[in-house]
Structure 1
Amino acid sequence: MHALQALQAIVMRELFKFSRQTGRLVSALVRPLLWLAVFAAGFRNVFGVAIVEPYDTYIPYDVYIVPGLVGMVLLFNGMQSSLAMVYDREMGLMRLLLTAPLPRPWLLFSKLCATALLSVLQALAFVIVAALIGTELPLLSLAGLNALLALVCGALMLGALGLLLSVYVKQLENFAGTMNFVIFPMYFLSTALYPLWKLQESGAEWVYQLARFNPFTHAVEWVRFALYGKDPGAAPYVVLGCLVLFFVVACWGYDPQRGFGGLTKRGGGAG
């Protein structure tokens, strides 16, 4: 009961904090909507996507790009949670929570659930706005529920990655480096903007191989295939495997007895 109360308190705190930060929701929506309204609109009829899985017909580019932009929302919020975690660990609530008489992995899991919930809510808000401006997606169907499951798992995986990065990001000023070396490579070396077969067809073999092994690619593909009720292949296994791996290593990093990355030397592992 104590553990469940802690989970509820952490999740509700994040929701309440988010409800007071309307600019955070606006900024989370503006970025993907600019891509959808400007970038995708410019290529709508120029860069159509051929009839390949999971599609049964030719589709305009804006339909293809929406799952990638949903992934963008999840990715940026997951990385933003890393920044918030660094702040909270150094001078905020997590500094106190990490000394609470509860298993540290449970506290980190509670934080992960809060991050994933906020990511999913922002992604759903983006999907609604995308549908309102004319992007046709099969949302009101059983496949839509499958896509929601993929969305939740993708949010958990990227939130766990944010937790893992917070072990290494010891100062807020280092977050810009995280943007350059984690967020942008993960996003652009994926299928968020273009299919894998186009990468291979264009001769960009090294980009193709990196995109194949990028866990973000599998998160996007799981959402994309689930929307159309098609078999996502190995994508769920990759996403869930990376979720477990990232979370376990993050818990290891926050362990005051076995921490790495210099966390225990800074007082982050006190208690």
Structure 2
Amino acid sequence: MKAVVARELLKFARQWTRLVSALVRPLLWLVVFSTGFRNVFGVAIVEPYDTYVPYDVYIAPGLVGMVLLFNGMQSSLSMVVDRELGVMRLLLTAPLPRAWLLLAKLVATAVLSLAQALVFVAVAVAIGTDLPWWGPHVPMALLAMACTALMLGALGLMLSVSIRQLENFAGAMNFVIFPMYFLSTALYPLWKFQEADARWLLVAAQFNPFTHAVEWIRFAAHGKDPGMAPWVVLGCTLVFFAVACVGYDPQRGLAPKRQGA
């Protein structure tokens, strides 16, 4: 566990451009997108807010989720490379429990995701976004972010089971990342779907685990009760990780076996 996590941290420290690229996307949404749509949001007061809030304040938890989501998906890309050419290729042949190796990889991914999310929050506060960045609710918010990072990292591990080539990663981006993000409350509350009479989009958003992850972060950041969101996130984490463990089991693996293997 220590070796895998330390390796990922050292690799990330040498590739500082990864941090820049991870922050550019959400900061553009925070600065440009929220400015253009500042007057669109604010028609109604939604939980956990007790009054009207600027649009940049509303989407900030969703942008934290964006950082966690994209890093979790990038972990599946790195897992594909490592499994074929890197250290994971050797570790997966070692006489160690596959579940423990995958857990070490998952923890490393979550640590990196959480670190990037915290840097984004610091930058957002520095540029003037009014966020509840300090108070007794901070441990609850950190827990929500950490659990979301674990869930999305486990999702990345599960996807890496079936992604055998780097070229297929673009498909995962189009069919997993963007639907999860846009069919959630990251950019707009659920009543927007109701207002547009888009019932099937509303149902899809309600069943989207990323919706519950964003709501957990949003409610925790304001010290409010997140309801069932933590249980949905934790349950999905266990399911995704269990499927990944089965997929990486050489006896019961879900991934297609190579010729001659």
- Which TM class, normalised by the smaller chain length? over 0.9
The equivalent of 1:159 in structure 2 is 153
State which of 247, 250, 258 in structure 2 corresponds to 1:256. Answer: 250
* Correspondences of 1:187-266 after superposition (within 5 Å): 187-262=181-256, 264-265=257-258
The equivalent of 1:76 in structure 2 is 70
CA–CA distance in 1 between the matches of 2:99 and 2:237? 14
Tell me how many residue pairs correspond in the alignment.
261
**Contact conserved, 1:164 with 1:246, CA < 8 A, in 2?**
yes
**Contact conserved, 1:81 with 1:115, CA < 8 A, in 2?**
yes
The equivalent of 2:126 in structure 1 is 132
The equivalent of 1:31 in structure 2 is 25
- The one-character-per-residue Cα deviations of 1:119-146 (angstroms, maximum 9, x if unpaired) are 0000000000000111111121111210
Q: How many angstroms does 1:69 deviate by?
A: 0.4
The equivalent of 2:179 in structure 1 is 185
The equivalent of 2:107 in structure 1 is 113
Which secondary structure does the structure 2 equivalent of 1:142 belong to? coil
The equivalent of 1:67 in structure 2 is 61
The equivalent of 2:84 in structure 1 is 90
- The one-character-per-residue Cα deviations of 1:186-219 (angstroms, maximum 9, x if unpaired) are 0001100000112112211111110000000000
CA–CA distance in 2 between the matches of 1:227 and 1:235? 14
The equivalent of 1:48 in structure 2 is 42
CA–CA distance in 2 between the matches of 1:266 and 1:228? 54
Q: Which amino acid aligns with 1:261?
A: A
CA–CA distance in 2 between the matches of 1:170 and 1:11? 24
Q: How many angstroms does 1:266 deviate by?
A: 6.2
Q: Which amino acid aligns with 1:252?
A: V
CA–CA distance in 2 between the matches of 1:146 and 1:153? 11
Q: How many angstroms does 1:261 deviate by?
A: 2.5
- The one-character-per-residue Cα deviations of 1:3-34 (angstroms, maximum 9, x if unpaired) are xxxx0000000000000111100000000000
Please report the TM-score for the alignment, with normalisation by the length of structure 2: 0.97
- The one-character-per-residue Cα deviations of 1:48-97 (angstroms, maximum 9, x if unpaired) are 26322101111010000000000000000000000000000011110001
CA–CA distance in 1 between the matches of 2:168 and 2:109? 20
> Is 1:101 aligned to residue 95 of structure 2?
yes
Please report the TM-score for the alignment, with normalisation by the length of structure 1: 0.94
**Contact conserved, 1:49 with 1:60, CA < 8 A, in 2?**
no
Mean Cα displacement is larger for which, 228-237 or 152-161? Answer: 228-237
Distance 1:266 1:187, change over 3 A: farther
CA–CA distance in 2 between the matches of 1:239 and 1:119? 16
- The one-character-per-residue Cα deviations of 1:215-254 (angstroms, maximum 9, x if unpaired) are 0000000000001111111100000000000000100000
State which of 8, 11, 34 in structure 1 corresponds to 2:5. Answer: 11
CA–CA distance in 2 between the matches of 1:50 and 1:147? 24
Indicate the percent of aligned positions where both proteins have the same amino acid: 73
Distance 1:93 1:205, change over 3 A: same
Q: Which amino acid aligns with 1:196?
A: L
Distance 1:254 1:78, change over 3 A: same
Q: Structure 1 unaligned runs (5+)?
A: 1-6
CA–CA distance in 2 between the matches of 1:126 and 1:50? 27
CA–CA distance in 1 between the matches of 2:141 and 2:198? 30
The equivalent of 1:172 in structure 2 is 166
**Contact conserved, 2:248 with 2:255, CA < 8 A, in 1?**
no
What is the RMSD of the two structures over their aligned residues, measured on CA atoms? 1.2
**Contact conserved, 2:46 with 2:189, CA < 8 A, in 1?**
no
CA–CA distance in 1 between the matches of 2:173 and 2:259? 23
**Contact conserved, 1:50 with 1:59, CA < 8 A, in 2?**
no
